[in-house]
Structure formats: C-alpha cells, structure tokens
Structure 1
Amino acid sequence: MKKAILFGWSLLAILFCTAQQVKSYQSLDPKQPIVFGGKYIVYKGDTVTLGPKAFFIDGQLTDAQAAGQPFVYNSVNKALDQLSNGTEAAPMVLYIAPYVYWIDNPDDPEVRVSENGEPPYGKIVKCDWLKFYGLSSNAGNVVLACNRGQTIGAKGNFTMFKFIGQGTSSENITFGNYCNIDLVYPLLPQLNRPKRASAIVQAQLIHCNGDKILARNTRFVSRLNLCPFVGGKRVLFDRCHFESTDDALCGTGVYLDCSLDFYASKPFYSTSGTGAVFLNCDITSHTGDNQQFFTKANGQVAVIDSRLTTPSGTYLGWRDVVPAETRNYQFNVTQNGKPALISKKNPAATVEMAGKPVLDAYRFEYNGKVIYNTYNLLQGNDDWDPMNIRETVLAAAKESGKSYIMQPVQLLIAPTRISLETTKNDVTLTAQVVRYGNYIFTGDTIKWSVAPDQRSLVRLKISENGSTCTVTPTNLNDDTRQVVITATTASGLQAASVLTVAPSKMEAPKFSLAPSIGLMNNGKLHANYKLDMRFKDQSEVTWYRCTDANGSFPVEVAVSRFDTPLLAYTLSPGDIGYYIKVSVAPKHLRCDAGNPVSFIMQTPISAKDVKATSKILYTDFKNLSTKNQPRVIPGFWTWEHFEPAGNDPRFTANKESDAWYYGQGSEGAANMFGLLQGRSAAMRYTPVGDNYGDMKLTMTVAPFKTAGQGFSVAPLYMDVLVKFDTRSMTGYALRFIRTTKYHDAVDCIMVKYENGQVTNMSEPVSTTAFKTSCKITVEVKGNKILAEATTSAPNSTEADRPGVFPAIQMETTIVPNTYGGFGIQYNGGSPTLVKDLKVEWK
C-alpha cells in the first residue's frame, strides 16, 4: 500500500514538472506565439496533434525537455533521422519554431569530402512527401543553415541537403549557406555568425530527384551555385526570395511572385527541358558590369509580367553568345520601369507573346484579374494543382470558349548543326511540341519556313501534319552558306534548326606547278606552287623542320589556319642546321583538301640565311603549330599536357586531344582569338644557346572568368616561367593563383622552380588585374626579378578595398642563372586565352 501511494505521488510530481515546462514555453517570435502542450501545438488558432507524421522542433529546448516528449526535437537533424514516408494527402510534416538550425556543424574543423563522385552533402534525406513548415510568417525567423563551400570547409561543391523522394515541400523557411554571406538573426543576435570567407565559392543548398516539389514563402540565400531544389521534375516557387551569383537557380522551376537578387550576370548555368518560368517576379541586378543575362549555356526561359531593376545602361540578354536556334519567350517585361525587349542584339531569339495564344499557357485575365496559369504549367498527366486554381481556370475557359489547360509551351526541332552537300545528302527535321514538365503534346500542325533570301539554297518537303520536314540542299553558289529553318505553331511557339549548306563538292585541284621552296633575301622562305583552278586558294600549307634531306624526324612548326595558306615562313635561329619541308594539301572553297604534296630543301638552313634577331621572339600564335610536342629541343616549343601531383581529378587533362590550340575564346575572352588550353597544359620554349643574361617577357591574356578570380577553384593557378632551364625544370616564375580570400581577385607570388619542385619566394599580393585584357610583364635584371600586371577592364567598387590592388608591381631578389627559357604551366580549369607574347633577351 505504501509503495502504491509513493508511486502515485511520484507520478503527480513528474506530471507537474512536465506541465510547468510546457506552461513556461515561449517561442522566439512573441508576435506569432506558439502554444506547446507537450503532445500538441497551437499556432494561429490551429491545433496540431503531434505524432509519427507530425514532429515539433524548437532549438531552444534542452535535450532533457525534448527527450521528455515523443515527437519533439531540438534539432532538425535529429528529427530527420526519425522520418517515415508521408503521402500527398497526409505528408510527413516538420513543424519548426523560430531558431537557427545547423544542418552541418560549423565548428567542426574536419573538411567534408565528396563520395561516389557526388558533392559532399550535409544531410541526405530519403522520404516521400516531406514538408518543412516554419512556425512564423517571416521566413527569416526559421533558418536551416550550413557554411561550407568548395575549398572552404569542403573538397567539392558542398550541398546542404539531398532529398530523395516525391513531393518535398517547404513553407516559411530560410535555407541558407553562410559560407560567403553573414548570418544575421535579429530574433536572437547570439545566433549571428559572420561568413566563413569573403571569396565566393560554390556553396550549395538543395539537390533533389523527385517530382511535385513546392516551396512557399521560402528564402534561398547563398551566392555561387545556390541550387534551390535543383533536380526536381516540376518545381513551384511561390512568393520565394533568392540571392545568388552564377550557375545558381533551378532550371525546371516556375517562379511565381518571387523576388530575386542577382549578384552576377548568369544566374542559370542552363535550364532543362521546358525550362524556367518567371511570373510576376521582381528581379534586381547587382552585377555592375552592364550586362545581365539569364543563362550561361543553353535552355529555354520565359519571363512574364516581371520587373527588372538594373544599373543604368545594363544590357539584358538571354546569354552572352546567343545560338541562332534559341527561342525564349517574354510578355510585359520592364527594366527600371520602362518596357524592355530581352536580347535586343539577337531579336530572333525572343518571342514576344503579346497577342499570341501561347500567352494563355502562362497567364490570362478573368473577372478583371490576372490569373497566372500554374495549373496548365504544372498539371502534368496527374492533375497537380498546387495553387488550387483548377476550378477558376475551368470556369474561365468555359466563359471565354478558350482552352487554358494542356497548352504547350515549347517547340523543338532536331537535329541541328548538320552539314549538307548539294546532290549528296539531305536531312529530315522532326518537330516536337511539349507541355511544361516535358510532356509531349500531339495535335498541333507545324508550319515550316526559310527566310526569303535563303530559299534558293534548300528545298523543303513537309509531312502532312507538319511533324517532319525533309531539307534537300540546292546551293548552286560557290560558297557554303548557313541556313536557318524555322518551325511555328498557330499558338505562336517557335523553333529553329541551323544547317550548313555547301554546294556540290568538286575534286581537289591538281598542281600545274608542284610545290617548291624559295629562299628570299629578307630571311623568309616562300612556298611556290600553282593549282589548276578558278577559285581562291585555300590550300593547307604546313612547314616542318627535318634532320636531313630525306625528311627524317619532321617536326611541325607552322601551319595554315582559317582557309588562308601560309605561303611565307620566317626563319629564326631555331631553324639553323635543319632541312625545311613544306607540305601543300590543295584546296579551294568547293572541295576538301586533297592529298598533300611535299618539298624538302636539300641544304640545311645556315646562320646567314636567318635575318631575324636572336634577341627578340614575338608571336600572336596565329600560325604557330600547337600539336603536342613533348621533347625539349633548342629552338623548339614544347607542347604537352600538365598534371601536377595531387591535382583535383575534375581538372585532369583530356589527353585525347592536343594540350593547346589556337581558336576563339568565350565568356571573358569572347570575340578574341589566341592560344588556348584545356583544363591544364604546359608550353615552354627552349632558346638556342646556353648562356643568357637578363631577359624580359611580356604577354597579353584574356581569362574566361570575368570577375577577376581567374581559375575554376582555389588553389588552381598559372605560372609564367622566366630564366628557365626547360630540361631540368629549374628557374623562376610569377604565379597567378586563385585563393579562398576573394571571389574577384587572384594572388600573385614569385616562385622558384628547382628540378620541378616549387617554393615561394615572396609574400602574395592580391589583385583584380587578372581580367580581360591583362598585360603581364616579368623581367629579370641582374639579381632582381620584377613583375607587373595591369588590366584594361574597369575596376569595380567592391575591388577597391584594402589589401586588393587594381594592378601589381613586385620585385624580388634572386640568384642569377644563365638560363633563357620561358613558358607557361597552366593548371587553371577554366581557360585563359593568350593573345600574344614577346620575349627580349639581353
């Protein structure tokens, strides 16, 4: 009996303590109180009974308090470990009180490393129909956080979440990666945390692989590679906010009533399938470089009833270089309050939907209100209607007599970029009409056309319903032309295919005079030959150095490019003692190159034949051979792949092609021609002779990266080699290296090579000078090595800060040597175009 009484009193005491704990509970946000009753919560008048599909989470709770109640947690991670699958009708819901919840421990010094080729994740969650519900209408009050990024706390593009499952959703939540931005939390300033680093690196939020992904009143904040629910098939962002730089947004998302802050010019790397849609959005551009694009690569974008706020004079485009196939859609777009056409310089890329039925797929008016047709966009084949507007859409359709559902948003043509030859081959183009979410639509009749000035170049044969179009080339001109085939639907959808149409090819011309080499008095060799033809000569003329008159051990040294024969070859000291060979592959604009015919000089080049000074070497690389040539030979260039020990596998050289090539740059080097490399490459020049004094190297480069960071990730770099022994890999270099200190600057360091081992000789100097065009000078005078780097690019306001210089001037003491070699060791990932190079030996 006594035991029973004692047990009763104990039970009452426990219940009393529990009641007191719950009674004293108060949310961090007193304006939106939460009643926590242990087994239930009350929020905005709604009572939620906690259970296996309804968890309550508050970071204020102690471990003991949380442990005292089932389905109650003080950590999001702990709750995620106890999930069970929900359903569309009854999801698994996490009710989260205001607080900052770290998904990855910011104080853990261990570097996160990717596994199985995937990024390092803070948390991988497998659950169908999981919902994050913040218990505050201010999404900034409920923060799910991490603060790691590429090279800053992680090796790889750190990503906070990977969700595996259908129907993931969020409401009243902030997902933030605070690697490069400060965490400011006004409700409890003790939870504030400064950004981990100033250098903006790939710091991601959410990957997912499900369908029916929904975010409402959710904030997604980071900078580079934001990744808000990237990977979802159908994704709706309703009244969400985004902050990002490049390669950031979800390319399969519908953005409704959202606000977006762009801190760089290409928020999408690319979009996927039917692409991204902006409906009634406010977009603010903070790029500061007078260009705001949407994508870096391909993909469809539609912008409707949206307002862009940009710095004055900013150009709006879909991407920096717009392919002729691009067709994107807009309606009622303004820039700084004035009507704007996106991609003015490429107007064919923009379909203005005003007055076209295709606009109904995105928005229409009903009862004096604008209805954004998310039902049409997201309904798929399973009638998904996250905005609950189905009945409104059907009523509007009944009243207007129009159809507002199952309306397509994309027209595609395949293939494209095909080469055709008159009388030889044709191509059948296939059109496909697609509803949003990549659902094939049938029933539309396709119309095909070609511009009037191109009609003589092709003949079109269209199938009965227009789904296919066979294109037969009929080019009777002498030159090859580019032809754009356009397809349209009655609703206003457009697509294009770009074809290269050549006239019928002829046999390569015959030589009426076989090739020979003439030695000119000005120190040049001239290729002499004649072709039996009426066309302009486009022969491929290639020059070699050989070790004897039989043409043994030929090394290619100079080549023709861009259909212009290299008839003259300037002799240099490196030619002395070699037998020069010329090879001519006959060609004109209506034929492929024929079999080459060669001529070899029967006497070697002597010193008196060379008029060029041995003290200066200049090249713009236009006709320099860049074929892989790994040998170190005096007077020759060494071209090879470069793989530093311990290099990131993502930046391994592609050895199926030459390490270097001459061509056109893109991004920061757009519209420029020069020497280019893959992800990593080495080139060195070995001068003739063994005793060199002072020397000076000057070159102009154009990095593809536009912000001044130079290379793909830290610590990738470029070394400019001087006073260098190319055999032993010994000498000096100026290193340009990306670090984790800045996102818009590189460090410059003087380094010493000794048998291939590199050591620093100076303190680093941070600069924003590594932007197009960047002039680099490295000079050796006695026991001093001096370096300068300047740029013609305008300096940004952000870059004008202590410790970061718009240009560099460096000087370091060295031990003099007699070497005269130079070169570039490139391990940068993202390419840098080398426009020209000049070396002077004293």
Structure 2
Amino acid sequence: MKQRIENLLKTMLFCWAVAGFAASLQAQTVNALNPEIDFGGNSLNYKGEKVALGPKAFYLDGSLTDEQAARYPYVFNTLQDAVDNLTDGTETEPMTIYIAPWVYWVDDPDDPAVRVPKEGSSTPFGMEFSCEWLKFYGLSNAPDNVVLAANRGQTMGSKGNFTLFNIKGNGLTAENITFGNYCNIDLDYPLNPKLNRPKRGSAIVQAQLIFSDGDKVLARNCNFISRLNTGPFWGSKRTLFDGCHFESTDDALNGSAVYLNCTLDFYSSKPFGHTVGTGAVFLNSDMHVLTRGSQYLVKGTGPVALVDSRFDGELVDYLGWRDLPATEARYYQYQVKLNGDSVFMDKNNSFATVDMTGKEVLKAYRLNLDGESFYNTYNLLRGNDGWDPMGIKDLVEKAAAKDGKNYSMLPTMLQVKPTRQKLETGKDSLLLIATAYRFGDFELDGQAISWSLAPEFKGLVKLEVQKDGTCLVIPTNEKDETVEVIVNASTDAGLESAAVISVAPSFLPAPAFIQKPTISNDGNGTLTVNYKLDMPYEDQSLISWYRCSDAKGSNPIPIAVSRFNKPMKSFQLSAGDIGWYLMASVSPKHLRCHPGGPETTVYAKAITAKDVKQDSKIVIPNLGNMATAYQPQVLPGFWALDSYAPADTHEWYWEADNSRDPWYYGPGINGAAQDSGLVQNTKGARLRYEPVGDSFGDMKISFTAVPSKTAGQGFSSARAQYMDIGIKMDVKTMTGYALRLVRTTKYGDAIDFVFMKYENGVATPISEGVSASCYRPNCQITVATKGNKLIAHAENLFDYFSEHEESEVKRVVDIDTTIQPNSFGGLSFQHTGTVGSGATLIKDLKIEWEE
C-alpha cells in the first residue's frame, strides 16, 4: 500500500512539472510587442507561416530572459549570442536571424570606456564578423520596431568614426530592420518607452553604421539612421535598397548602389562624399531637403542618375550634382521634380547633365511593356551571374522580345581616358579610349563611339578615329596661347563623356638675355631686377628673391616668388632685409616656351635701415608672392613655414609631414573655391613670423578666414582639430598667447573661440570657450593685446542662417581675458585639421605693433 502511494505521488509530481513547463512554454508563445509572432520553442509561427529553427534559422528576442533563451539551442536574447553561433549560409539557404521587435545594442551604451580601433585599423567597430549569405529578418512590417543600435561617434564614446558592424561576406540581406547610430539622435521606441535613450550630444560627429565587402547586398524596408557618415553597407559591390529610408548629413550614403522606392532626409547639402565606379542610381525616390539654398548630391567625384525622383524642401532653391562639376563629368536624369515642378539638374553647369528623355539609354533604367512602366533593376544588378533581387527577369525578357532588343546588357556609363593631359603642337599626340560600363563596373565591348569637338575648338586639334574606335588627338594649335580643348565622346543610345586636354602651340626655345639681370635701388624702398629678353612676347619669367649672407649669394633663403605667369620684378624692402644681401633669380619664359635656365644677380650692398621706407610697426605681407617652401628657420624678419604636430594632438596618431611644402598660395576648395589666399597644404601646417626688434608692446593681428567648410563647423572633425592664432609670441620657444578656433563635440555647425597660453610649446586654455556660428566664408578675425588684456573679435561679412539662439551660439564674437604682459612680438598660425576640405584660406593679413 505504501509503495502504491509513493508511486502515485511521483506521478502527480511529474504531471505538475509537465504542467508547469507547459505553462511556462505557453507564456513564451505570445510576443508582447507583436502578437503575430507565435514562438513555440523549436519553431516559430509568423503570420501563419511556420519556421523550423535550426543551424541556419535563429530566433532573436530581446524580451526573453536568459533562462528562457537558454532552453533552446537556436534561440537567443542578445545579438552578440546569435552572431557568435553563425555559420555560412548559401544563396538558396541563407543563414537567417529572425528578430522580434526590441532594441538590440550592438555595443553597450552604458559602458563608459572609450572605444578605440584595433591595432592597424582607423575605425572602431561594435561587431566584426564574417558570414556568407547572412540575412537579418525583422518580424514586423514596421522597421522602426526592430532596432539594431549603437550610440557612439568620433570623440563621443570613441576615438575614431565608430561603426556598428564590419560584416564580411557575399549575399548580406536585411529586411524590416532599423540600423541606427543614436550618438546625435534621440532613440524613441514607442512600443516600449523603457527602451528609449537620449543622444550623447548635439554636435554632429562621424557616427557610422555598416561596412560590407560583399556582393549581392540587399536591404528591403529598412531604415538607416545617423547623420554624418551614415555608411549603409559602405564598401559593398552590387547593392539594392528597396523601399528603405535614410537620414543623413554629408559623406553619408552608399556610392555604388541602386535606391528603389526610397525616402531620404537630407540634413546637409552633399550626402555623398563621392560615388564609386558606375555610381549611384535613384529610381522613384523622394528626397526631403532640410537645408537652405543649394542642394547638391556629391561632394567629390563620381556619377549619379536620377529617374522619376522628387525633391521637396521649403528653403531649397537650386539642385546641382556638385558645386563645381568637372568638365568631363556626366550625370543622368529623367523626370526630376523640385516641390512638384520639373527641374533640370545643375542648370548653371548644363554640360554635366544628360536628360534621358527620348533617348535609348533610359531603357537601362526604365522599360515599358503593354503600356505599363517598370524599373529595369535586372539590367542594373544582373552582373555576369543574373542576380535578380526584384524578380523581374521575365518582364525584361518579354519587353526585349517584343522590341527585338537586349534590355539586360545596357551600359550606364561612358568613360574617356586619359584626361587632363598636356599636348604640344608638332611634338605630341594622345590616344583617347572610350569605355562603356554596365552598372556595377562591368566593362561592355562593342559600343560604337562618336567623337566630336565643339565649333570653338576646331583648328586647335585634329581627331583621327581609329579602326578600333579609339581616337588619336593631334594638336594643331597655331595660336600663341595654350588653350583647353574638350573632346566629346558619345553613343547613339545617349551616353556621353569627354576628355579635357591642354593644347599648347609648338614651343620655342626659351628667350636669350639681351641684358642679363641686375638689381637697382630706386631710393624709395624698392629693389627692381632689370633685364632684357630677345622675344616678341609678353614676359612670363619666373623670378625668385632670396636673402643671402654675402655679395656672392651664399646661404640663400627664399623669401618671394613669381606666380601665375606674372614676373615679380620689384621687391619692397622691409626691416627683415636689413643686414642681408638681396638676390634675384630669373628663369626666362614666355607663353610659348618652357622656363630657361636661371640667371642670378645679387645687389652689391647689404641692405641698411636707410634703404627701408616701410613702417616697421605695420606689416601687410604680400601673401600672393610669399615663398611657401619648407623653411623652418626662425630668424628676425623671416617667415618660417613647416608642419608640426602639437603635443595636445598626439592621441590621434598622426605625424607632421615635412616632405612637401606645408602651405600654398592659390584658390581653396568648396567654400573657399572662389577666393585665393594662403592655404594649408599638409596637416599640421604652421606659419611663424619673428619681427625685427628686441622688445614690443601691444600688438594686433587682423585677417579674413575663408574655411572650406560652409556649415560653421570649420574643421573636419572634433578630434583636436583647431587653428591657433599666436600673438605676443616668442616663436622660437613658442611662448606667448593665442586665440584657438576649435571644433568641439558641442555643435556640428559652430566652433569654439578660446584663449590659450603657450609655454615652451605647451598650450593651456585661459578662458571659457565661446561657441559661434560665424566661422564660415568670409570671417573677419582680430586678435589684440591692450596692456594686461587679450582681446578677440570675429564676425562674418555675410548673413548666414543659424538655428541657434544668440545666448548659446554667438553670431559675433567679442571676448577678452587678463594676461601677464610680455615683450615678445611674434605671431603664428598653427592648423591641426585635415587639409583640403577641412582647410582654411587666409587673406588680408595685417600685423601691427606698438612700442
């Protein structure tokens, strides 16, 4: 009897355990955020379809407890655990992660540690892994409900441009997913507000999403959310975004992709840093423009095509491909609209735009069959293996059969090489090759090419079309001037391209000196080099001026040079010339010859104070003729030019490069493209001037700054990129004071103005930073000392728009601080930012001293 009771109790306990387990399992079957998900442990039912979980099918649900997830081998509650168990998929059986609604942090947002790149890399990643044919599948029609997130960016939680993923492998696919870097954007998650998270900061810094090196990459119904450097599958090959949404500022989008039925929010004017190969294509897409004035697409080079695409924006008044398209660049459009009205892209540079209306090339992008239009994504993405992510191959082949043509091998780009070459009449020739490419950089042979010249170039070159379709360019310029010629190439379908060639007449020998150079002193503070050349042309000789230690021209130091074919025959003496012998070097040249060998001459006497008529207390340097070669010597009256990496920038792993000239004089780029001035040519470019004299009182420096950046951020990033204007400096020891203009993490459209104290090259802030939006082209800046006060003023000549209140971001800077006066009189410029698009052009420089 006792044994029967014990057996009965065991049976009851087993039944209770089974019932408890069943109850626990039943509690897991309903997903609280999406009732359409029915999770059964080893399988998944979603919208009535059953998915058996297994080695190639994982279920990821962040709402599961660790205990619940641990019960099943293919169920996970963190993305990290799922990725740790991935195996390669195939095209027919991809490795799929089915993801329930939740916010999945790729990187722990609560970890205070700063993320740094691995050794040998410049980019810190949240997750790095390899997997062939991987698919992220969000279990919700709304991609906002399935979020893969991080919240780090350059200088905000990371050192380097933090990126969520670095995924290697072909066939990467994502559906119904939001990839978001919430460094500068609030994460709002209405399904579960407990998962909301505020942004790290308002400054727009480089915060990226996904690197991918694979081919056949597909995103469908996905969001890509960041701002600067969004990076949706950067590095991928054939890529399709189908019905996706993007939010971005500059340098953000994938430059080798097809964007089909997409929506894009542009928070600044150049969403592509550049495009790659055959470029980017927009089909039936909508761009919401939140910028003012001109909206461009590309900052650098590379093609773009727009088909049936629309722009809208309350404040945009011009659409262009890039601010200054290259003469040989071509972009394609069909039915583009701005605020509902048809628009011709880049009308101010109309040569760059090919309107495909009525041209056969349109069929590479858009086809008609039985009165219905559809987009020819098969032609764009098929490559050599027939990839057809939209499943339209049959439609394309039906249209092709009906018209008796092949609509799946149509090129989208024509490229002529070489370009930007120089030819001399009677001496040189150039063979041009035009190559057609299908989208994805697949070269296509057999295209008939037509070569042509505009009427204004007839007689300057002769074109000889070869049997293989190439074109031999023979210069025939009989003018005296060198002329830029454009050779056009085209196909019957409507593809276009060009080569730009500088065509010179036949060069003559350099002219001989009838009278060799000598230097005269006019007694009014000016030396003039006098010479005569045997030629009928205008003089374009290259003249350089040097200070030398003796009348033989020993130890010459360059101080001034000719530029832009204008000989610098006269040199105005200054206090820096006193005690030195002045030498001029003349290389004879005119517009039809190369420079001849230089002849030098040295003024017979050392310069004395009586020779100098210039006020030594005011220096307005002739920047247009300043020698910009590397010259590190600090000497009274000399400009020292070098590249230098200050100690407070060393954590960013860069070194000064003095292998080339640190500065150049000429036009800048982007926002400074219309100006000429002194521009940094290397990162760390430094300019120092030590005046003549032993002791100096108050001092004033004024100049106009023209940054390449136009949004007010001044520099390329907030990683210790700044420009210091040194005043009252001993420039040998770098001791004195400076006004620092620095990009910070506070704002993406303003910089800080901060006073610094220098002691033996080490700079320390001596004032609070004042944020200002005025550091855009043309910003007038003055730095001065008055007794124990250091004073700075900055304002812009133009009325730029700023969204900030004056209380938080100033339009005009007026700041001062108390200092300990010194007797130094040197000035310096130290630029630690990226050059090119991050450089600042300097003009109208004036320096004043008091006793």
Q: Please classify the TM superposition score into its range, dividing by the shorter chain length.
A: over 0.9
Asked whether 1:243 is paired with 2:251, we answer no
Shift of 1:540: 0.7
1:552-571 alignment runs, 5 A limit:
552-571=554-573
CA contact (8 A) 1:716 1:828 kept: yes
Amino acid at match of 2:722: Y
Asked whether 1:658 is paired with 2:661, we answer yes
**Residue by residue, what CA displacement relative to the aligned partner does 1:101-156 show, whole Å, maximum 9, x if unpaired?**
00100011111111222411111121111111111101100000001111111111
Equivalence for 2:105: 102
CA contact (8 A) 2:668 2:674 kept: yes
Equivalence for 1:83: 86
Alignment match of 2:283 (pick from 251, 267, 279): 279
Matched residues in 2 for 1:730 and 1:671: separation?
36
Matched residues in 2 for 1:200 and 1:494: separation?
38
Give the gaps of 5 or more residues in structure 1. none
Shift of 1:28: 3.9
Matched residues in 2 for 1:654 and 1:648: separation?
17
Shift of 1:11: 5.7
Matched residues in 1 for 2:704 and 2:848: separation?
15
Compare 5-14 and 603-612 and name the one that shifted more. 5-14
Asked whether 1:459 is paired with 2:462, we answer yes
Shift of 1:10: 6.2
Equivalence for 2:440: 437
Compare 785-794 and 341-350 and name the one that shifted more. 785-794
Matched residues in 1 for 2:98 and 2:408: separation?
35
CA contact (8 A) 1:285 1:292 kept: yes
Equivalence for 1:153: 157
Shift of 1:14: 4.7
Shift of 1:689: 0.7
Shift of 1:706: 1.5
**Residue by residue, what CA displacement relative to the aligned partner does 1:766-805 show, whole Å, maximum 9, x if unpaired?**
1112111111111101111111111124333423364211
**Residue by residue, what CA displacement relative to the aligned partner does 1:70-105 show, whole Å, maximum 9, x if unpaired?**
211111121111111111111111111111000100
Question: What SS does structure 1 have at the residue aligned with 2:363?
Answer: helix
Shift of 1:277: 0.3
Amino acid at match of 2:194: Q
Matched residues in 2 for 1:681 and 1:264: separation?
28
Equivalence for 1:839: 847
Matched residues in 2 for 1:365 and 1:15: separation?
62
Matched residues in 2 for 1:9 and 1:163: separation?
52
Equivalence for 2:473: 471
Matched residues in 1 for 2:10 and 2:136: separation?
40
Matched residues in 2 for 1:828 and 1:12: separation?
72
Compare 250-259 and 744-753 and name the one that shifted more. 744-753
Matched residues in 2 for 1:7 and 1:437: separation?
69
1:804-819 alignment runs, 5 A limit:
804-819=809-824
Matched residues in 1 for 2:602 and 2:7: separation?
114
Question: What SS does structure 1 have at the residue aligned with 2:230?
Answer: coil
Q: For residues 698 and 8 of structure 1, do their structure 2 counterparts lie closer, same or farther at Cα, with a shift above 3 Å needed?
A: farther
Q: For residues 7 and 556 of structure 1, do their structure 2 counterparts lie closer, same or farther at Cα, with a shift above 3 Å needed?
A: farther
Asked whether 1:790 is paired with 2:795, we answer yes
Equivalence for 1:503: 505
Task: Compute the RMSD of aligned alpha carbons.
Answer: 1.6
1:22-421 alignment runs, 5 A limit:
22-25=25-28, 26-30=30-34, 33-115=36-118, 116-288=120-292, 290-421=293-424
CA contact (8 A) 1:581 1:598 kept: yes
Matched residues in 2 for 1:492 and 1:465: separation?
20
CA contact (8 A) 1:413 1:429 kept: yes
Q: For residues 10 and 206 of structure 1, do their structure 2 counterparts lie closer, same or farther at Cα, with a shift above 3 Å needed?
A: farther
Amino acid at match of 2:231: C
Equivalence for 1:743: 748
Matched residues in 1 for 2:17 and 2:404: separation?
67
**Residue by residue, what CA displacement relative to the aligned partner does 1:812-836 show, whole Å, maximum 9, x if unpaired?**
1111111111111111222111012
Equivalence for 1:590: 592
Matched residues in 1 for 2:7 and 2:796: separation?
87
Compare 522-531 and 295-304 and name the one that shifted more. 522-531
Compare 705-714 and 239-248 and name the one that shifted more. 705-714
CA contact (8 A) 1:744 1:799 kept: no
TM-score (norm 1): 0.97
Question: What SS does structure 1 have at the residue aligned with 2:842?
Answer: strand
Alignment match of 1:539 (pick from 523, 538, 541): 541
Amino acid at match of 2:701: L
Q: For residues 515 and 45 of structure 1, do their structure 2 counterparts lie closer, same or farther at Cα, with a shift above 3 Å needed?
A: same
Amino acid at match of 1:329: Y
Compare 362-371 and 789-798 and name the one that shifted more. 789-798
Matched residues in 2 for 1:10 and 1:561: separation?
97
Asked whether 1:757 is paired with 2:757, we answer no
Question: What SS does structure 2 have at the residue aligned with 1:346?
Answer: helix
Matched residues in 2 for 1:518 and 1:809: separation?
47
CA contact (8 A) 1:696 1:841 kept: yes
Matched residues in 2 for 1:602 and 1:7: separation?
119
Shift of 1:314: 2.2
Shift of 1:5: 7.9
Equivalence for 2:574: 572
Matched residues in 2 for 1:8 and 1:346: separation?
87
Q: For residues 313 and 90 of structure 1, do their structure 2 counterparts lie closer, same or farther at Cα, with a shift above 3 Å needed?
A: closer
Shift of 1:465: 4.2
Question: What SS does structure 2 have at the residue aligned with 1:333?
Answer: strand
Shift of 1:550: 1.0
Equivalence for 1:484: 486
Shift of 1:44: 1.2
Q: For residues 806 and 5 of structure 1, do their structure 2 counterparts lie closer, same or farther at Cα, with a shift above 3 Å needed?
A: farther
**Residue by residue, what CA displacement relative to the aligned partner does 1:523-548 show, whole Å, maximum 9, x if unpaired?**
11111111110000000111111111
Q: Equivalent pairs: percent with the same residue?
A: 51
Question: What SS does structure 2 have at the residue aligned with 1:24?
Answer: helix
Shift of 1:299: 0.6
Matched residues in 1 for 2:661 and 2:187: separation?
46
Equivalence for 2:691: 687
Give the gaps of 5 or more residues in structure 2. none
Question: What SS does structure 1 have at the residue aligned with 2:264?
Answer: strand
Question: What SS does structure 1 have at the residue aligned with 2:82?
Answer: helix
Shift of 1:374: 0.4
Asked whether 1:780 is paired with 2:788, we answer no
Matched residues in 2 for 1:84 and 1:597: separation?
73
Amino acid at match of 2:839: P
Shift of 1:649: 5.7
**Residue by residue, what CA displacement relative to the aligned partner does 1:728-761 show, whole Å, maximum 9, x if unpaired?**
2111111111111111111111111111121111
Amino acid at match of 1:841: W
Compare 318-327 and 365-374 and name the one that shifted more. 365-374
CA contact (8 A) 1:53 1:84 kept: yes
Shift of 1:455: 2.1
Shift of 1:575: 0.9
**Residue by residue, what CA displacement relative to the aligned partner does 1:24-48 show, whole Å, maximum 9, x if unpaired?**
2332434x52111111111111111
Matched residues in 1 for 2:399 and 2:14: separation?
62
Shift of 1:348: 1.1
Question: What SS does structure 2 have at the residue aligned with 1:114?
Answer: coil
CA contact (8 A) 1:28 1:187 kept: no
Shift of 1:12: 4.6
Question: What SS does structure 1 have at the residue aligned with 2:767?
Answer: coil
